[in-house]
Amino acid sequence: MADALIRSKKPATSARTPAGGAPTVPHSAAEAADPRIDVSAVTDLLLGTWAQTRRQARDMIKDPAFWEVDGQSVADHRERVLGQLRLLVEHGAAARAYPTEYGGQNDNGANIAGFEELVLADPSLQIKAGVQWGLFGAAIQQLGTKRHHDAWLKDAAELRLPGAFAMTETGHGSDVAAIGTTATYDADTEEFVIHTPFRGAWKDYLGNAALHGRAATVFAQLITGGVNYGVHCFLVPLRDEDGDFLAGIGGEDDGVKGGLNGIDNGRLHFDHVRIPRFNLLDRYGQVAADGTYSSDIPSPGRRFFTMLGALVQGRVSLDGASTTAAALALKIAVTYAGQRRQFDSGSGTPEVVLLDYGNHQRRLIPRIATAYAQAFAHDEFLRAFDGVFSGRTDTPSEREDLETLAAALKPLSTWNALDTIQECREACGGSGFLAENRLVGLHHDLDVYVTFEGDNNILLQLVGKRLLGDFSGQFKGASTGRLARYVAAQTAGKVFHGAGLRRLGQTVADFGSTARSVGLGLREEQQHQLLADRVQQMITDLAMRLRPASKLSPAAAAALFNENQAELIDAARAHGELLQWEAFSDALHTVGDDGTLRVLTWLRDLFGLSLIEKHLAWYLLHGRLSAQRAASVSRYVDRLCARLRPHAQDLVDAWGFEPEHVRAPIASGAESARQEEAIAYYAELRTSGAAPVPEKSLKKKR
């Protein structure tokens, strides 16, 4: 009833709410003339291929024993999270990817899907579980052989052997190939000697290293017979049963961090620590008793990337968990924005709901579209991961594609999570800054996601190099004339006619309205063409600029590459955005309900047009859009936001989060109750005749 009072048909006249603004907006899909989404069907779509596992995980974490406790000390938080890991073991929710004989379920996709949902309980729990079973245990599983599995995998699965994953060093993070720790083989004793020769070679930022880890999978340069065979992985015992370091091993606590303080991150160093030859995880490289090295992969570079590729699941899980965290933030902020009122409408009616303001819609609704795009892209990503790691599609090319996909999507989703959570925090005002409403804590905890499991910029650089390699492959052995003709097509025909739009230079007036102008020019096919052409053009331009590198000295070639590094990363980011848009569009093709399809198509269009709007300068500079058409894009984004406003609550509700997952008082209905109480109070005051007279009315009488 209170909402009906707000939505007067009389246009607002206040300077704070322009005429034709907030007061006339329908607040829900039920009130709008547009079709509604089938919320439960969209929930199934968002939960994806492993929906059942996700639901099981969400049911499990309804137990308050899994929830983060605000204000807990670092020491108490760490012990709480360790106890939660034991609860995961009890619930059978740990190590789903391991073979059944070692306590797992042999289900790689379900393992990641269930693991990602833990971010709703406590991101520290999610990451510590990932350290134990997705890094330490996975290194044993993926880099070791059956004898290593028999020795350690079941103990890791059941948490009898808590472990750390010791790859990163103080002096080298993403550049794993350059780490300083060595593992030198001693043929006389059939042992490897693990050693950190200088301070920068200390292993750093390692979960489970400060307190709980009893062993570590340590990455080190394997040296035997005086030859360095590159980085390999070794299992190294760290502590005895009492928790004390073993001889030759030392370490430090990383201390209080910006977030994720339930994880005992620490540093490790090794002073000529001896381990048996058996402890080399030798799936990809073996050392015989006499010190002879052998490998089925003769190329050192390919061997190195194969070993790292076996551990790609960390990036997969961060992509999914970041999307879930962004969706949770949107659930909180949109729910609050649909209840919180601020400023009167200017026509004497009660205050306006935040989500009725155009700017508030602009802040939140495009981010809903992005979260949906990420969810659909992630499910495709997870299916690809499961195919490779189950063995169904495990080929070198599929693994390379998977690694490229991971490097493309993880940066976008982790960056977007921080952006979305921060915008949601600000959109909730002071309430968003309270710890109890979770947004500040989520931002702190997810901050490091952008730099671990691969720094985002480094990952995108890898994607860019892959795109350049694929581009160059098209012209291998091609004549100069053929290449010149291709370049000419890019700079002439493509610029003016290649985007799939008739007469790109036409004005908005040709169609008579913004809606028709964009609607006729930027539908699904044209959105895809614009996004895909941008990637192709960026890679083409880069390839042309880098082409002289083959004739330059190594130093000059490196300098040329460095000059173009920022453009390379931009191209890779554009590629990732295209993948997300394509995944969203593919998901639409599976929707059967007409109303749901209509609304989700608007949401996909909002995502696509928001991307085009974000890069309007590029499209203008490269002649893909006229100035007037570019202006119409922004206006149509506004129109889509307003059109989707009545569906906003349905769209965030469709994530399927229950009160135990949200746990934010401002999204619990408490704000709505407060607003209704205030409206009732003023209504009763006016009726009583005891309401004070506004000062302005006295001035008018004079």
Q: Nearest to residue 316, comparing CAs of 430, 221, 413?
A: 413
Q: Could you identify the residue written with the tokens 């999978």?
A: 217
**Lowest-confidence region among 60-64, 354-358, 431-435:** 354-358
DSSP structure class, residue 48: -
Rounded to the nearest 10 degrees, what angle do helices 358-390 and 313-337 cross at? 160
Cα dihedral across residues 609, 614, 616, 618: positive or negative: negative
Mean pLDDT of the chain: 88
| Choice between 5 and 470, residue whose per-residue pLDDT is larger | 470
Task: Read off the pLDDT band of 543 (50, 70, 90).
Answer: confident
pLDDT at 574: 94
Q: CA neighbours within 13 Å on the CB side: how many for 34? A: 23
pLDDT tens column, 582-611:
999 999 999 999 999 999 999 999 999 999
192-211 CB burial, b ≥16 within 10 A, e <16: bbbbbeeeebbbbbbbbbbb
Cα separations in angstroms, 573 against 378, 421, 531? 16, 20, 11
pLDDT at 475: 60
- Amino acid letter for position 402: L
Asked if the model's pLDDT at residue 346 lies above 70, the reply is: no
Q: Give strand ranges (E) for 460-616.
A: none
pTM of the model: 0.90
pLDDT at 550: 81
User: Would you call 204 helix, strand, or coil by DSSP?
Assistant: strand
Q: Give strand ranges (E) for 335-483.
A: 341-344, 351-353
pLDDT tens column, 155-192:
999 999 999 999 999 998 888 999 999 999 999 999 99
| Choice between 479 and 679, residue whose per-residue pLDDT is larger | 679
pLDDT at 479: 53
Asked if the model's pLDDT at residue 702 lies above 50, the reply is: yes
**Domains defined for the chain, CATH in brackets:** 44-157 (1.10.540.10), 164-304 (2.40.110.10), 313-457 (1.20.140.10), 472-652 (1.20.140.10)
Instruction: Give me the percent of the chain exceeding a pLDDT of 70.
Output: 88
CA distance 207 to 111: 20
pLDDT tens column, 244-277:
999 999 999 999 999 999 999 999 999 999 999 9
pLDDT tens column, 659-701:
999 999 999 988 888 888 888 888 888 889 888 888 877 766 6
pLDDT at 32: 73
Beta bridge partners of 276: 191
CA distance 243 to 221: 28
Mean pLDDT confidence for 491-517: 35
Going by DSSP bridges, is the β-strand pair 163-166/215-224 parallel, antiparallel, or unpaired? parallel
CA distance 148 to 568: 41
pLDDT tens column, 6-65:
343 443 333 444 433 444 567 777 777 778 999 999 999 999 999 999 999 999 999 999
Q: Is residue 379 within 8 Å of 323, Cβ to Cβ?
A: no
User: Would you call 165 helix, strand, or coil by DSSP?
Assistant: strand
Q: How many CB atoms lie within 10 A of CB 259?
A: 19
Name the phi and psi angles at 287, rounded to 5.
-125, 120
Q: Is residue 612 within 8 Å of 522, Cβ to Cβ?
A: yes
pLDDT at 473: 73
pLDDT at 511: 37
Asked if the model's pLDDT at residue 491 lies above 60, the reply is: no
203's enclosing H/E stretch is strand 203-206
pLDDT at 599: 96
The angle subtended at Cα 365 by Cα 364 and Cα 367, nearest 5°, is 70
Asked if the model's pLDDT at residue 521 lies above 60, the reply is: no
CA distance 452 to 450: 6
pLDDT at 20: 39
Reported residue count of the chain is 702
Residue 114 in tokens:
């269930």
Residue 212 in tokens:
């709980």
Residue 88 in tokens:
């995961």
Q: Is residue 233 within 8 Å of 281, Cβ to Cβ?
A: yes
